[in-house]
Amino acid sequence: METKTIARFYDNKVEAWDANYTGNADDIGQYEILRRRELVLEILFDRLHNHETLLLDIGCGTGRVISELIVRRPTWQAIGLDLSGEMIDFCQRTYYEQPNLKFFQYDISQAPLPLGAADAALALGVWGHLPDPERAIEHLYDSLRPNGLLIFSINKPSLPRALTVGYRAVRELFKAEHRHRATRNKSYRLAHVIESLSGRFTLLETRDYCYLPYLPGIRRFLRFSKFMERRLGKRPTPFSSAMLIVAQKQPAL
Ligand SMILES: C[S@@+](CC[C@H](N)C(=O)[O-])C[C@H]1O[C@@H](n2cnc3c(N)ncnc32)[C@H](O)[C@@H]1O
């Protein structure tokens, strides 16, 4: 997918994206986003204990993950980066009074980020949009301090995912206005991701968290997804469509 198309798509989606974070998660898409944030905060607080910690959020969207993080860890600093100028404008306007948060427009697939100082880098809901994830991994590696954490989400090929893609394809055939090409996130197998990380990152853990296809009316089954997550979330299975990957930067040889 062309990066410009993705930027344009998200430029027009700022308010709609932010609305995912308000109200109750009674829809599987919204549940995925809220659950992802919850899990990421849990993992960060579990693994990082320093008073001062620097975080990067690549593809930060409307900044809802790092803003929540700073509320709960006020001594931490976070930098939100996003391809979409409108997303960054929104974040700069919304969080201008928050000195621990900074936002800049940035494309992870283009420019290196040779900071070498971040304790953790997040990339949530971004992976499937990247034209060259291997390149992004190099850039993320350069941004982290040795042993720094990389936490990112992927969509996996799975039965729920296949049902979602099938449903969307049929809907698109009949309704032109539903053509959300930019959102067609590419999905990845864990084995493929592990291969891309090898030599730079060590895999620490994975968390599966969405066991339903994204179909209308499916919200009634959210309890089923939560049940499956409690049972299986800590091991990768072919039954879930969304996964968080936690990896650690290997020190340079
Ligand atoms: C699905 S949204 C996720 C937003 C946020 N991470 C969250 O969880 O609320 C994906 C975001 O990634 C951004 N994005 C896509 N490709 C990117 C790239 N190459 N570099 C930086 N950001 C990118 C989009 O502009 C969009 O804001």
* Closest protein CA for atom 12 of ligand 1: 59
Per 3-state DSSP, the chain is made up of helix, strand and coil in percentages (nearest 5) of 45, 20, 35
Contact 217, 205 (CB under 8 A): no
- Cα distances from 18 to residues 12, 23, 86, 199, in angstroms, run 12, 11, 12, 36
pLDDT digits 0-9 by tens, 169-224: 888 787 655 455 545 678 888 999 999 999 999 999 999 998 888 777 777 788 88
Residues with CB under 6 A from ligand 1: 3, 6, 10, 33, 58-61, 64-65, 82-84, 87, 106-109, 124-126, 129-130
Q: Over the stretch 12-52, which tens digit does the pLDDT of each residue have?
A: 999 999 999 987 767 788 889 999 999 999 999 999 999 89
Cα of 64 vs its chain's centroid, Å: 12
Question: Can you tell me which atom of ligand 1 is nearest the CA of 10?
Answer: 25
Pairing of strands 242-249, 54-58: unpaired
Domains of the chain and CATH, by start: 3-249 (3.40.50.150)
Instruction: Give the residue whose CA is nearest to atom 17 of ligand 1.
Output: 83
Q: What pLDDT digit, counting tens, does each position of 51-80 carry?
A: 899 999 999 999 999 999 999 999 999 999
* CA angle at 111 for the pair 106 and 115, rounded to the nearest 5°: 85
Our mutation pick for probing the ligand 1 site, out of 14, 30, 83, counting the most ligand atoms within 8 A of Cβ, is 83
Ligand 1 pocket test, candidate residues 62, 82, 244, most atoms within 8 A of CB:
82
Residue 105 phi, psi dihedral angles, 5° rounding: -80, 135
Per-residue pLDDT at 182: 46
Residue minimizing CA distance to atom 8 of ligand 1: 124
